């Protein structure tokens, strides 16, 4: 107001920032895209084939089921993953490669079978309270939050179908950090991953939380929980993500897809029969194969494993947790193929006394040579190679030479280098129009963003005479 004292004006956001219709936002986005495909540029499709849009508004919640809030009790920090007898082990599905929808759909089917058996001799409410779920929490932060929130919705719905009360339908979740995305080669990245996973579990609504040490000290694992609880106060709200348009929509989408899968399993005769028929194992194998391919081709980045390796951490004495545990499906870790490659390099070094060396031969266009040298350093660094770089090759003791330049400069460079050296020469990039000419000049391979790193690195280990 004009006659108010300085600094006491009340800011009315609705007056200063009037509502903007969605159509205006969309028009502005299309102008900025300048003809680029909206879906390809801005819509992310998750591993579950759920389309995540670039923004959400209140109107996106119309017709969506609201997530069931927690009971207000704070989650407990667990030092050991003590599980209730007969717990529903969704974590074993996760470690076998399941995506969020598969974890929820199959776990719900198994839990409904368990509830039906218990309810044959016990009141439904008492039977439901005996069932605990164990979920492993991965690093896809918002999806993991939505997964646990969707679990609350689904279990409440299932218990209600048996005639149980809303109170009995409050799910009990023990959440633990994932093993699937951890590595023996980069323990501090493991700690960072475990921290974000623990945050997702707390925000998603777990009852108990276990941060599993994977290469880092057990006291750090416990301290992660203490920081989240005592300093970040993530135990202060029953449903911290409630009201977020994005997470509410994602929760609803995950829950709906998981319910469809649950109905498919029920149509097969239930979870036990679906397991016996092999349909569950086949679905997990398909998901596992897709994950392995994404990691091998580096479409899925594991920092320190398939990209951005620590050059000082070539060996490891870390023993992965859970080794030898019995599970209905084979567990795997995305890092294992790269760990085997690095271990092979280490064994070769123990026999020969030196690490295999790659020379990054950089010439020509500054931007391209630097970008491709960085690419090559990361690519071969993941195999534990020593990396050197120079503009000349004379006197090098390298086992491999990687040409780092622009496509236009490669052919002349290759003709010179290949004629003068006795070690294999490869090219960083994919100059499709010159591949045959470069091979004729003596180039023996190419690495680029579409390369299968596991296949190529293993192949070069073979050619360099490393024992399997």
Count CB atoms within 10 A of the CB of residue 300: 17
Backbone angles phi and psi of 138, in degrees to 5 = -90, -170
Count CB atoms within 10 A of the CB of residue 2: 4
Q: Please, which pLDDT band fits residue 1 given cuts at 50, 70 and 90?
A: very low
In the predicted structure, residue 390 carries a pLDDT above the cut 60: yes
Going by C-beta distance under 8 Å and a sequence separation of 6 or more, which residues neighbour residue 236? 74
pLDDT at 71: 65
- Which percentage of the chain shows pLDDT scores above 90? 85
Residue 67, exposed/middle/buried by CB under 10 A (0-12, 13-18, 19+)?
A: buried
Continuous segment of H or E residues that includes residue 233: none
Cβ proximity of 274 and 280 under 8 Å: yes
> Average pLDDT of 373-394?
96
Count CB atoms within 10 A of the CB of residue 318: 17
Distance CA 242, CA 109 (A): 26
Query: In 182-229, where does DSSP find H-type helix?
Result: 187-204, 218-226
Residue 317, exposed/middle/buried by CB under 10 A (0-12, 13-18, 19+)?
A: exposed
Tokens of 119: 């309810």
β-strand pairing of 425-428 with 445-447: parallel
Cβ proximity of 65 and 255 under 8 Å: yes
Tokens of 161: 């179908």
β-strand pairing of 133-137 with 88-89: parallel
Distance CA 156, CA 379 (A): 47
Helix 453-463 to helix 366-381 angle, to the nearest 10 degrees?
A: 80
Tokens of 269: 């005769």
Q: Determine if residue 131 is left, alpha or beta; phi over 0 gives left, psi from -120 to 50 gives alpha, anything else beta.
A: beta
> Average pLDDT of 394-410?
96
Residue found under tokens 């939050």: 145
pTM summary value: 0.92
Q: For the residues of 327-355, what is the DSSP string, one character each? A: -SS----TTHHHHHHHHHHHHHHHHHSS-
> Average pLDDT of 412-417?
97
* Domain range summary for the chain, segments of one domain joined by +: 76-296, 345-463
pLDDT at 11: 74
Where are the extended beta strands (E) located within 129-177?
A: 133-137, 173-177
Q: Determine if residue 205 is left, alpha or beta; phi over 0 gives left, psi from -120 to 50 gives alpha, anything else beta.
A: left
Q: 76-296 — its CATH code?
A: 3.20.20.240
Cβ proximity of 201 and 229 under 8 Å: no
pLDDT at 175: 97
Query: What tens digit of pLDDT does each residue of 207-257 get?
Result: 999 999 999 999 999 999 999 999 999 988 888 999 899 999 999 999 999
Continuous segment of H or E residues that includes residue 157: helix 141-161
3-state secondary structure of 70: coil
Please give the CATH architecture assigned to the domain spanning 345-463: 3-Layer(aba) Sandwich (3.40)
pLDDT: is 203 or 62 the higher one? 203
Positive or negative torsion for Cα 118, 124, 130, 133:
positive
Distance CA 26, CA 24 (A): 5
Positive or negative torsion for Cα 81, 233, 235, 50:
negative
Where are the extended beta strands (E) located within 138-266?
A: 173-177, 208-210
Cβ proximity of 361 and 402 under 8 Å: yes
Q: Please, which pLDDT band fits residue 294 given cuts at 50, 70 and 90?
A: very high
> Average pLDDT of 177-201?
95
Query: What tens digit of pLDDT does each residue of 5-47 get?
Result: 666 777 777 777 788 899 999 999 999 999 999 999 999 999 9
Query: What tens digit of pLDDT does each residue of 79-122 get?
Result: 888 998 899 999 999 999 999 999 999 999 999 999 999 999 99
Distance CA 465, CA 454 (A): 17
Q: For the residues of 116-139, what is the DSSP string, one character each? A: HHHHTTS-HHHHHHT--EEEEE-S
Going by C-beta distance under 8 Å and a sequence separation of 6 or more, which residues neighbour residue 435? 446
Q: Please, which pLDDT band fits residue 343 given cuts at 50, 70 and 90?
A: very high
Query: What tens digit of pLDDT does each residue of 323-340 get?
Result: 888 899 999 999 999 999
């Amino acid at each position: 107001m004009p006659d108010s004292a300085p600094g006491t004006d009340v800011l009315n956001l609705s007056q200063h920032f009037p509502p903007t219709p969605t159509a205006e936002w969309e028009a502005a986005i299309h102008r900025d895209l300048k003809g680029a495909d909206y879906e390809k540029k801005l819509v992310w499709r998750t591993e579950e084939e759920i389309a995540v849009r670039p923004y959400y508004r209140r109107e996106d919640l119309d017709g969506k089921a609201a997530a069931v809030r927690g009971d207000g009790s704070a989650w407990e920090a667990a030092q050991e993953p003590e599980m209730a007898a007969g717990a529903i082990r969704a974590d074993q599905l996760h470690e076998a490669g399941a995506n969020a929808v598969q974890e929820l759909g199959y776990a719900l089917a198994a839990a409904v079978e368990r509830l039906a058996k218990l309810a044959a001799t016990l009141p439904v409410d008492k039977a439901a309270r005996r069932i605990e779920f164990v979920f492993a929490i991965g690093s896809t932060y918002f999806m993991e939050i939505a997964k646990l929130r969707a679990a609350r919705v689904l279990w409440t719905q299932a218990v209600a179908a048996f005639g149980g009360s809303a109170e009995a339908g409050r799910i009990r979740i023990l959440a633990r950090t994932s093993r699937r995305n951890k590595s023996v080669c980069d323990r501090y990245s493991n700690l960072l991953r475990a921290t974000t996973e623990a945050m997702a579990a707390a925000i998603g609504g777990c009852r108990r939380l276990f941060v599993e040490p994977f290469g880092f000290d057990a006291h750090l694992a416990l301290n992660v929980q203490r920081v989240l609880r005592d300093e970040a106060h993530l135990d202060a709200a029953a449903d911290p993500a409630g009201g977020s348009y994005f997470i509410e929509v994602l929760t609803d989408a995950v829950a709906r897809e998981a319910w469809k899968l649950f109905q498919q399993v029920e149509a097969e005769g239930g979870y036990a029969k679906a397991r016996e028929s092999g349909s569950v194992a086949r679905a997990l194998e398909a998901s596992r194969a897709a994950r392995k391919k994404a990691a091998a081709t580096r479409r899925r980045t594991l920092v320190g494993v398939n990209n951005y390796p620590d050059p000082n951490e070539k060996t490891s004495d870390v023993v992965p947790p859970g080794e030898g545990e019995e599970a209905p499906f084979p567990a795997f870790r995305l890092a294992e193929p790269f760990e085997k490659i690095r271990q092979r390099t280490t064994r070769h070094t123990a026999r020969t006394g030196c690490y295999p060396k790659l020379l990054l031969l950089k010439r020509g266009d500054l931007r391209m040579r630097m970008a491709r040298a960085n690419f090559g350093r990361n690519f071969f660094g993941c195999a534990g190679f020593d990396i050197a770089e120079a503009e000349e090759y004379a006197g090098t003791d390298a086992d491999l030479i990687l040409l780092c330049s622009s496509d236009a400069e490669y052919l002349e460079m290759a003709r010179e280098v290949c004629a003068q050296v006795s070690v294999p020469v490869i090219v960083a990039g994919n100059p499709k129009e010159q591949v045959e000419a470069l091979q004729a000049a003596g180039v023996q391979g190419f690495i680029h963003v579409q390369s299968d790193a596991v296949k190529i690195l293993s192949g070069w280990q073979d050619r360099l005479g490393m024992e399997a």
